[in-house]
Structure 1
Amino acid sequence: MSGVKKQKKEVKEVLVGSYTPKNIMVTGGAGFIASHVVIQLVKQFPEYKVVCFDKLDYCSSLKNLNEVKDCPNFKFIKGNLLSADLIKYVLETECIDTIIHAAAQTHVDNSFGNSFAFTENNVMGSHVLVEAAKVHGIKRFIHVSTDEVYGTVGDDIRRVETDVLEPTNPYAATKAAAENIVKPYYHSFKLPVIITRGNNVFGPHQFPEKVIPKFVRRLLGGMPCCIHGDGSNSRHYIYVGDVAAAFMTILHKGVDGETYNIGCETEFTNLEVAQRLVKALKPDCSDPKEHISFVGDRAFNDVRYYISSDKLHQLGWAPKMSFEEGLQKTIDWYAKVSPDWWEIGTDSALAPHPELKSKVSDALQTKL
């Protein structure tokens, strides 16, 4: 047996559990995290059919799926979750038995400016999908959420899956709302729902509006890292390959009705992340501060999130990629990726601070 075949066999043996899918639909599969999930599924499990459903919003790209686009067990469908008829048609014609629902608006800064779009996509989109899943008789529905639904925490608090949700920004509020729509389908209709809540994820394919790719792209372009506030806010950072592996574990070994945190112990302040990136990209610089500037803070900025992943560890998963190695892989990818990787330009994403003015709010104010 060749080394590659042996490795694939070992992966499958590790993931043997109580559930084996046949036809999987991954929503938002052309986006950041979900594209890595799609790639792992297609490559590791050629016996599964993987349908990527994505409306190709600004932060998605078909190029994220280049390495599996010609695989016989992969199919891409462009569509909007708000189209109930299309969702019904796809579930029926593709004989979908499993859904990994990762599609969402995710950028916190944008949610302060136009929260209505987040409610439409994250809440209503999830409701349309879970209702269709109920009618179709889906056998496993994995709903992807975020650690931000727990709200900000102090140094001595580590959130577990049974904690009360206390979101503090519009994005997190819509993710918590979506959870509270999806979860009752398990209790009321016996739909086999599983919820995940993850730390900050970094790696290739991420649209450069998030902190690590944004800082990398700015430094590569001769611009300084732009830090909200004083840079003391901290986050846990987990590499996208480890997160995709977590979804492989949850897909095969997760328990219906449960929630799983996907986290790590790697925590840095925004300032520390910027300093590490400056050292990596500007090795001859004696003072990282020369490439760091401070801009206005968010309307509200959570101090930190800290979650326990013990429940997921009990299923056999643990992160493997060190922050240093993952960061170098990320830097290398953004250094060589073409500027037209995404369908729209990324210049606005590299701005020091987003424009928080909402067209919807303006329209409402005009009417008032």
Structure 2
Amino acid sequence: MNIILKEDFDKILQSDINFSCFQNSSFFITGSTGLIGSLLIKFLLYCSEVHSLNIKIYALIRNEKKAEMIFCDEINNENLIFVKGDLLKANLTFDFSVDYVIHTAAITASKEMVTHPIETIQTSLIGAKTILDYSVKCRAKSVIYLSSMEVYGQVKCNQKVKENQLGFIDLSDVRSSYPESKRMCECMCLAYAHEKNLNVKSVRLAQTFGAGIFKEENRVFAQFARSALKHENIVLHTAGNSEGNYVYTADAIAAILLILLKGSPGEAYNVSNEKSHMKIKDMAHLVANVLGNDDCQVVYDIPEDNLKYGFAPDTQLFLDSSNTMKLGWKPYFDLEESYLRLASWMKSNKMI
């Protein structure tokens, strides 16, 4: 195992989570070849080995070759079972039962949200309903729906924002296919919690990055890191005035598992490192200084038509993670350390 990833996993094992609860348990994880899904699977298998927990994982995939590449170190583990299926097929069924379900599958690329808004909505709604129905049928002990901080839309607030303080989403903007469908899925989770007595919780993740990202990752954080490590200018395609909320990958995994065990049915939880809150342009300068050794500059190239990139509108959002922290969660990695560990991961995996 990569040394950076092992250090991250060992840090999670030190967190306030009673991992013995997972003894002889089974998991169903969707979005298994995505960043969060893959790290959850890798960590749970590692945790199972360290603590002899005998955890079995059913991993939903669409592309077998991609799955075999991502899980090359775990491919021969008899407790990892790949399940091939497409969540857009509403009649999709599964012939196994599990104790825990974590639904992470979603379209996450901004450009896809504006070029394929119908598929974005369908992936969210059909996928969520399929997984919620399955969870009811197999009487899962606990379920996590992976949501997003984008459900907040544009919030006009001069203080940290709690889970019940949603803002405005412009339905005339085609990119709203993503945040609006995420809102509906959270509403669906609440409905299943009340009507079907399903122990399902929504997790609103901040921008999540760190060790574990894939070589093809091209979101803003990866673009910034890649440019700085190459000693190239960091190019901003917006004014960079949006307030960014961030959390390191290992901290996010710890939060998800803690909420899985201790969260309240039907509730939503913010997961963000409040100490890492800053504007996009300030983060760009931080990365240039920390990773680029001041050999790169922050420059602006703002297109007239945002559809070229599909960036979200500027937001002044500062997530309040106190409800998650009350469960016992404490993020370990600030933004500078997150980027240093991301850089080590990228270098060790020849991503630059």
Fold match (TM-score > 0.5): yes
Task: State the 4+ residue runs in structure 1 displaced beyond 6 angstroms.
Answer: none
Deviation at 1:317, TM superposition (A): 0.6
Which range moved further: 312-321 or 177-186?
Answer: 177-186
CA distance in 2 between counterparts of 1:239 and 1:15 reads 18
Q: Would you say 1:24 and 2:27 are equivalent positions?
A: yes
* Match among 98, 103, 106 for residue 104 of structure 1: 106
Residue equivalent to 2:286: 276
Aligned residues: 326
Residue equivalent to 1:65: 71
Residue equivalent to 2:149: 147
Structure 2, unpaired ranges of 5+: 1-5, 171-175
* Match among 247, 260, 264 for residue 256 of structure 2: 247
Deviation at 1:334, TM superposition (A): 2.0
CA distance in 2 between counterparts of 1:81 and 1:239 reads 28
C-alpha contact 1:18 1:252 (8 A) present in aligned 2: no
CA distance in 2 between counterparts of 1:23 and 1:130 reads 17
CA distance in 1 between counterparts of 2:13 and 2:73 reads 20
- State the one-letter code of the partner of 1:147: M
* Match among 210, 219, 237 for residue 246 of structure 2: 237
Residue equivalent to 1:298: 306
Deviation readout 1:332-362 (Å, 9 max, x if unpaired) = 222342569xxxxxxxxxxxxxxxxxxxxxx
Residue equivalent to 2:272: 263
Identical amino acids, percent of aligned pairs = 23
User: TM-score normalised to the size of structure 1?
Assistant: 0.78
Deviation at 1:243, TM superposition (A): 0.3
Q: Would you say 1:40 and 2:43 are equivalent positions?
A: yes
- State the one-letter code of the partner of 2:201: I
Deviation readout 1:303-347 (Å, 9 max, x if unpaired) = 23222111111111110012212101111222342569xxxxxxx
Residue equivalent to 1:321: 333
CA distance in 2 between counterparts of 1:63 and 1:269 reads 35
**Equivalent residues in 2 for 1:46-195 (5 A)?**
46-56=53-63, 62-83=68-89, 86-89=92-95, 92=96, 95-154=97-156, 156-164=158-166, 166-168=168-170, 169-195=176-202
CA distance in 1 between counterparts of 2:244 and 2:335 reads 13
Inter-CA distance 113–274: structure 2 relative to 1 (3 Å threshold): same
C-alpha contact 2:152 2:166 (8 A) present in aligned 1: yes
CA distance in 2 between counterparts of 1:148 and 1:117 reads 18
C-alpha contact 2:161 2:319 (8 A) present in aligned 1: yes
